């Protein structure tokens, strides 16, 4: 039997890592240093001029961070990656590499509430406009595109509604208009979905969630698919025009299929500065080693919980793509046959007040604003993560007033269900 290369679980443990050349340390050390000594003046000049890759200063690059980057790039099937301080920082650097003042991009309106804010409000300071489309209707993206549109953005599995998106169909719209497709793959992780295989060009993650997996470190990453031609249209000058600060080199020419990751590092991270700490890169990397095991358990537990909830008298609806009757079930089977993820929503018949009482009655579940921890988590989005949105935006993002969101952990499923059961009894 021939095999193309190492499997996913092998890459999750080994990709990017070697025993430390100086000490032999097997686990990647935490290189807790701000800066790195140059061999000589020529070496320093070559590093600063991008003629040679190497460590200068931890704001730009660090060996612990580099292992994490190589590992996630391998798991996503990309050419290179750039790890940063948070998922939001990764999104900022992606758009900084692509957009100029006055440009726009088209995003699915079914997004994490924080991304809706970042795109709709914070990005206005840079004069970057977002236009909203419906993730269930690929052609709705096409309708928003004009001469200043620079990219399309979707989540592979939309937070918090647990909706799988037809990535290939949206990629086809992007391709037709000569635009890159950026996919936030936070909720699915590459264990479930690999967007680059379906036509995406750039993948972003909040590493804070399932990839780190233990609720202990913030991080984000962008992965360069190496697929997009940044020079053809002349619309991406950071990549296709000479860079004066680097001796006039054209990044796309010099770095080819990993030019996007290089540009995000040497123009975005260098100047905005949201570097990931070596400690967080280490903790997240350790989390990645068990990603396949954890993700499967998250999915299996979530499926059992969703099925149980759907049979409860006080529950009005459950939206989990893994359930047979769910409108999103066919897309889940096509894009993510191993499971439907661990984050989903349901409604309580008695609405807003019942939702609040239920959340307070839970004992093992933690009531907090995160997903993708080993522990089971719960939140009422309308009063927390999606609070800053209008009622209309909340409803269209799947976070209306009656909605409760669960992120199912990897505890014993009987204990998860017992906690939900006792809380439901108190509603
Ligand atoms: C899908 C998704 N994308 C991006 C983010 C932002 O990530 P971070 O909180 O690491 O900045 C989040 C955070 O919840 C998220 O759920």
Q: What is the pLDDT of residues 48-69, one digit of tens each?
A: 999 999 999 999 999 999 999 9
Do 167 and 256 reside in the same domain of the chain?
yes
Do 295 and 278 reside in the same domain of the chain?
no
Which one is predicted more confidently, 398 or 69? 69
Neighbour-count burial of 57, counting CB atoms closer than 10 A to its CB (0-12 exposed, 13-18 middle, 19+ buried): middle
DSSP H helical ranges for 193-277: 237-240, 251-255, 259-263, 270-272
Given pLDDT bands bounded at 50, 70 and 90, which one contains residue 402? Answer: confident
Q: Which of 230, 253, 287 is the last residue of a domain?
A: 287
Give residue 2's pLDDT. Answer: 60
Do 183 and 305 reside in the same domain of the chain?
no
How many other C-beta atoms can be found within 10 angstroms of the C-beta atom of residue 183? 31
Query: Which residue out of 72, 94, 114, 156 has the highest number of ligand 1 atoms within 8 Å of its CB and is therefore the one to mutate?
Result: 114
**CA–CA dist 110, 385 (Å, integer):** 14
**How long a stretch of residues is the chain?**
427
Six-digit token pair at 186? 């936070």
pLDDT digits (tens, 9 = 90+) for 125-160: 999 999 999 999 999 999 999 999 999 999 999 976
What pTM did the predictor assign? 0.96
Inform me whether the pLDDT recorded for 1 exceeds 60. Answer: no
217 CA to centre of ligand 1 in angstroms: 12
Q: CATH no. for residue 109?
A: 3.40.640.10
The tally of domains found in the chain comes to 2
Q: Positive or negative, the Cα torsion across 18, 23, 26, 32?
A: negative
Query: Which residue out of 113, 208, 274, 398 has the highest number of ligand 1 atoms within 8 Å of its CB and is therefore the one to mutate?
Result: 208
Range of the structural domain that residue 81 is part of: 8-287
409 φ/ψ angles, rounded to the nearest 5 degrees: -85, -165
Q: CATH no. for residue 324?
A: 3.90.1150.10
**Ligand 1 surroundings by CB, under 6 angstroms:** 86-88, 112, 114-115, 155, 159, 184, 186-187, 206, 208-209, 218, 220, 371
């Amino acid at each position: 039997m021939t095999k193309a290369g190492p499997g996913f679980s092998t890459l999750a443990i080994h990709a990017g890592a070697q025993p430390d050349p100086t000490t032999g340390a097997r686990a990647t050390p935490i290189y807790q240093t701000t800066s790195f000594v140059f061999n000589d003046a020529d070496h320093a000049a070559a590093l600063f001029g991008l003629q040679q890759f190497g460590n200068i200063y931890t704001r730009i690059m660090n060996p612990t961070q580099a292992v994490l980057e190589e590992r996630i790039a391998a798991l996503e099937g990309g050419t290179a990656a750039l790890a940063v301080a948070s998922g939001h920082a990764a999104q900022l650097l992606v758009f900084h590499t692509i957009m100029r003042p006055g440009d726009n991009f088209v995003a699915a309106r079914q997004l994490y509430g924080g991304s809706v804010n970042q795109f709709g409000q914070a990005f206005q300071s840079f004069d970057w406009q977002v236009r909203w489309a419906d993730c269930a209707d690929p052609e709705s993206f096409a309708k928003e595109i004009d001469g200043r549109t620079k990219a399309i953005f979707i989540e592979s599995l939309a937070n918090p509604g647990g909706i799988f998106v037809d990535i290939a169909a949206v990629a086809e719209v992007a391709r037709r208009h000569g635009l890159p497709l950026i996919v936030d793959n936070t909720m699915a992780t590459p264990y479930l979905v690999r967007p680059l295989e379906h036509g995406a060009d750039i993948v972003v993650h909040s590493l804070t969630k399932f990839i780190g997996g233990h609720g202990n470190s913030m991080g984000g990453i962008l992965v360069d698919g190496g697929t997009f031609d940044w020079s053809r249209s002349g619309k991406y000058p950071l990549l296709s025009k000479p860079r004066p600060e680097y001796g006039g080199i054209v990044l796309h020419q010099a770095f080819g299929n990993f030019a996007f990751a290089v540009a995000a590092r040497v123009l975005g991270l260098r100047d905005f500065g949201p570097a990931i700490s070596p400690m967080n890169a280490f903790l997240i990397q350790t989390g990645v080693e068990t990603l396949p095991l954890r993700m499967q358990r998250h999915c299996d537990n979530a499926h059992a919980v969703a099925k149980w909830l759907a049979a409860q008298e006080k529950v009005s609806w459950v939206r989990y793509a893994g359930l047979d009757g769910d409108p999103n079930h066919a897309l889940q089977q096509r894009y993510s046959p191993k499971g439907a993820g661990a984050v989903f929503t349901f409604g309580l018949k008695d609405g807003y007040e019942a939702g609040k009482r239920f959340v307070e009655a839970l004992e093992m579940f933690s009531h907090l604003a995160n997903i993708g921890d080993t522990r089971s988590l719960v939140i009422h989005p309308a009063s927390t993560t999606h609070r800053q949105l209008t009622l209309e935006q909340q409803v269209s993002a799947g976070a209306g007033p009656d909605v409760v969101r669960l992120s199912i952990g990897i505890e014993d499923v009987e204990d998860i269900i017992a906690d939900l059961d006792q809380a439901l009894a108190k509603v």
